[in-house]
Structure 1
Amino acid sequence: MASLVNLKAMKFLTCLSALVCNAVFSASWQITYPKPALESDIMTIYPIELLTLALEQTGVNYELLPSSNLLTKVKALNRLEDNREVNLVWAMTNQEREDDLLPIRIPLFKGLIGWRLLLIRDDMSERFKYIQSLEHLVKLSPIQGRDWPDTKILRANGFDVIVNLGQDNLLNLLATAQGDFYPRSMAEIWHELETLENTKGLSVQPSLGVYYPGAVYFFLNKNNQPLAHLIEVGLEKAIENGTFEALFKKTYQEYIKRAQLEERTFYQLDNTFLPEKTPLQRKELWFQQTLQ
């Protein structure tokens, strides 16, 4: 009799689970993300293309909308935690963000965000030719955003980081010699150098870089598990059928080639802020390159 009751309970739970899944995939979803300052921002275009790809894999009805207001990354994450104005944000992960929000642990940029080239003033190019070790580089001052996770990583590795808010202010710090170099990821440095107005007299240092493991995830409010599950299923399908990789290569292959990685020395930094649940063991999720 007890086994019969258990069997009925299992059947009920199976049916309930199927009903929940059907409800998730048959609903119409409105997803609001932070409005970009520039429509041409590649750090917005690619995540939205990837999100669109993931949703298309699921066959659901959806609508993607930018927020009404411009939001800094920190403000957008705060709004997300409060379940106001946006219901999805992409951002670099750390333990605090994973504690406060619901991460989808698939690195959108395949870890390319941690492959950093050095934006420098042209008049500093000779100085960098004498950098022969990480100990030499640490003597110079990098520039980063005040609230960026990267700032903590660089400081933990011994750098005296010069900080400010806003891309224009950071570029101005570099241009006016208030810092020595501005580490930017391969996912963004070329696009920024070519499209931003105040990059005159700046260039990408040709022989060096720094690397640390890092991931940008889609984050949602902790109470929005159905939408998170939907997007995760779509991303996994895109990984399995190769469309994720195809979009990544379409967007970044030329940037990676332009970086001439085989000609560079990358100094590896520790990222002690990387959460334990980061899926480093899933090699298919990460850009692979041998460090020199």
Structure 2
Amino acid sequence: MNAYALKVIAALLLITCQTAHSAVWVITYPQPALENDVRYDYPLALLALALEKTSVRFELRPSAQAMRQTRSLKRLEENLEINVYWSMTDIVKEEQLLPIRIPIAKGLIGWRMFLAPQNSPFLRARIDTFSDLLAFEAVQGISWPDTKILQANGFNVVTARDYAEAKDVVIAKLADVFPRSVIEIESEMQSDPASGLALRKDIALQYPSAMYFFVNKRNVTLANLIETGLERAIADGSFDLLFAEHFGETIKSLDLDNVKYFRLANPLLPKLTPTSKQELWYQPK
């Protein structure tokens, strides 16, 4: 092979390497149904952190259209429009999708406090036992795992299509309370101070639950990439720093270390949930 041919091959190899190096992995997540939905802030920040730990070049991009949770999960299962989503896990989701089994909010998704209309009887009621709490009707999304968890533990539950409708239901007093995760409840109240809802801070629910990143069953490469990045972030402490940045003040202001809480069973919790890895979960002091 002459020198000219060798130069041509070398140039082609250089172009190929440069193209591969400059390739950007587009990670598409569901566009939120609510404008400026603050519930997306932490999962997206953590996803970006995990991907940065792998040194891949990536772009996080919302889907072209807004999606509620039910549609998001369906499109992810069909491998259309989006390639990642985060949600509270259950047995059905883990059969349909590929979970990255690292609880991204350290189980705080299973810590629930109650919103109710201002001057509601619930806010003034004496609640000493779990039976006292069951006297009040709750509202939840029809497709949320929490609905079945609450029902399994004895609650009467009114269902709604999504978060916005559930909030309207409790505002209209068609249900007594709206249990919300502690990672969401304060920011949601701040984003809508005119809702007329108040937070009861002396009692809470707690059930074992994990919010995971999910990908399509066939997208093993992306799952491995996210898992590797999360594990590296846990190992170097940046996961905990980001968690504290987003939820440290919430844990203090809601006094989770001292609040009276009722522990519920979660019949939907998959067997492979890493409950034995204490470092992955928030533990009240």
Q: Give your verdict on TM over 0.5.
A: yes
Correspondence for 1:274? 269
Distance 2:22 2:114 in 1: 47
TM-score of the two chains, using structure 1 as the length reference: 0.87
The answer to whether structure 1 residue 114 and structure 2 residue 143 are counterparts is no
Write out per-residue CA displacement over residues 52-76 of structure 1, whole angstroms, 9 at most, x where no aligned residue. 0001101111111100011111101
Where in structure 1 are there 5+ consecutive unaligned residues?
1-23
- What SS is found at the alignment partner of 1:143? strand
The alpha-carbon deviation at position 41 of structure 1 amounts to 2.0
Indicate if the aligned counterparts of 2:123 and 2:200 stay in contact, CA closer than 8 A: no
The answer to whether structure 1 residue 230 and structure 2 residue 225 are counterparts is yes
- What SS is found at the alignment partner of 1:163? strand
The alpha-carbon deviation at position 104 of structure 1 amounts to 0.2
Correspondence for 1:143? 139
Write out per-residue CA displacement over residues 24-65 of structure 1, whole angstroms, 9 at most, x where no aligned residue. 999642110001134532221111110100011011111111
Q: What's the % identity of the aligned pairs? A: 42
Distance 1:285 1:245 in 2: 10
Where in structure 2 are there 5+ consecutive unaligned residues?
1-19
Residue of 31, 36, 41 corresponding to 1:35: 31
Indicate if the aligned counterparts of 1:187 and 1:255 stay in contact, CA closer than 8 A: yes
Q: Which amino acid aligns with 1:236?
A: E
For the aligned residue pairs, the C-alpha RMSD in angstroms reads: 1.8
Indicate if the aligned counterparts of 2:90 and 2:268 stay in contact, CA closer than 8 A: yes
What is the correspondence of 1:161-200 to structure 2 with a 5 Å cutoff? 161-196=157-192, 199-200=195-196
Cα distance change of structure 1 residues 143 and 282 upon mapping to structure 2, 3 Å threshold: same
Cα distance change of structure 1 residues 70 and 185 upon mapping to structure 2, 3 Å threshold: same
* Off by >6 Å, runs of 4+ in structure 1: 24-27
Indicate if the aligned counterparts of 1:168 and 1:198 stay in contact, CA closer than 8 A: no
Cα distance change of structure 1 residues 236 and 280 upon mapping to structure 2, 3 Å threshold: same
Cα distance change of structure 1 residues 54 and 127 upon mapping to structure 2, 3 Å threshold: closer
Distance 2:116 2:149 in 1: 20
Cα distance change of structure 1 residues 113 and 148 upon mapping to structure 2, 3 Å threshold: same
